[in-house]
Structure 1
Amino acid sequence: MRIIAGRHKGLRLTSVGNGDPAARLRPTPDRVRESLFSILAARSLPNEKTRVLDLFAGTGALGLEALSRGAAHVTFVEVGRPAQKLIAANVAKVGREANTNLLKLDATRLPSATAEPFDLVFLDPPYGSDLGQRALRSARDWLAPDALVVWEDDCSHDPPEGYVPDNDRGFGTTHITFLRRASQRLP
């Protein structure tokens, strides 16, 4: 696993091999990340103003790729201890502690937002679970109006209340659903 492009291009991240099923770690393959970031680049994302929220962050590879490509800040949300250690090791490896924050929280039970809103969200819950829907409901107040959500799973998803569909792409067994946070605030 490596950073594909940008400031940290080619840097090898701490590996978990083919994943850690016990810790529910399943890194996004390099080719899927490359395709995903090509799609985002066509939308001028990330850029120097982009604040990224990486839910179910795992190794942190998606958020770190965004930082490498110019994002201003990434907040990683991860409850698993093995993944928290990997994220900390990978952030140290790229030397970007000042541009990151690791929240050791359950992504489905986020507290009220206290920071600037996020423009781009990576959502990579365990495949086949309902955790993505729950995390998006939990994160709604953390997001800027029209924030883009990139949801990785093994199938496409209908947006939960407060989100609208944007795009949908398949990459073998990986499916990426793009959603936008609805501009209007819901009760």
Structure 2
Amino acid sequence: MRVISGSLKGRRFSPPKNFKARPTTDFAKENLFNVLNNHYTIENLKVLDLFGGTGSISLEFASRGAKEVTCVELNYNHFKYILKNTEELGMKPVIKVIKGDAFKFIERSAETYDMIFADPPYDLKNSETIPDLIIKNKLLKSDGLLIFEHSGTVDFKSHPNFIENRENGKVIFTFFKA
């Protein structure tokens, strides 16, 4: 895996072989950030990355100038890996890594974010409720954007906050407005 653009452009990192996360592919990540760059200014955004996995998305946002990135990851080994990379790449001032359950974080957080990226495991029970929980708990600022990564087994086109889908092979990014 690599950071695609920004201050860390080209930096590579490889999670350990026993890593259980399904990282967003570089191809899908590059396509996602091309879309975001055409419609949004990432610099100075306050971003939430739920189900951090490898931390790749958090690093990409930080590398591109996000002012603050909060990364939530439940798995202890993944949390430690994200923390280690954040420190080694000098992104600790920008990226705050939290070991915790994303559902509980959504319920309890009093913060609001300009952009939220959620990439739960595809087989995670109740993952399709995440967009509604984020909107109900008002985690997005009034002009905020939620990006939900999922497989093709879920369809959000009739959701009242749906904006669009972007498909990258088997990976689908669904965009929601606040």
Note the 1:162-181 alignment, pairs <5 A: 164-181=161-178
Alignment partner of 1:41 out of 34, 37, 42: 37
Which residue does the alignment assign to 1:15? 15
How far apart in 1 are the matches of 2:164 and 2:41? 15
| Amino acid in the other structure paired with 1:66 | F
Cα distance per residue 1:5-30 (max 9 Å; x no partner): 1111011124245x73xx3x011111
Q: Report if the CA contact (8 A) 1:127-1:154 is conserved.
A: yes
Alignment partner of 2:51 out of 56, 61, 68: 56
Paired positions, count: 174
- What TM-score, normalized by structure 2, do the two folds share? 0.87
| Amino acid in the other structure paired with 1:51 | K
User: 1:160, CA displacement in angstroms?
Assistant: 9.5
User: 1:68, CA displacement in angstroms?
Assistant: 0.6
Which residue does the alignment assign to 2:116? 121
Q: Percent identity?
A: 31
User: 1:129, CA displacement in angstroms?
Assistant: 3.4
User: 1:142, CA displacement in angstroms?
Assistant: 2.3
User: 1:138, CA displacement in angstroms?
Assistant: 4.0
Note the 1:9-158 alignment, pairs <5 A: 9-16=9-16, 20=19, 23=20, 25-48=21-44, 50-110=45-105, 111-115=107-111, 117-139=112-134, 140-155=137-152, 156-158=154-156
- What TM-score, normalized by structure 1, do the two folds share? 0.83
When residues 170 and 94 of structure 1 are mapped into structure 2, their CA distance, relative to the original with a 3 A threshold, is same
Which residue does the alignment assign to 2:2? 2
Structure 1 residue runs without a partner (length 5+): 182-187
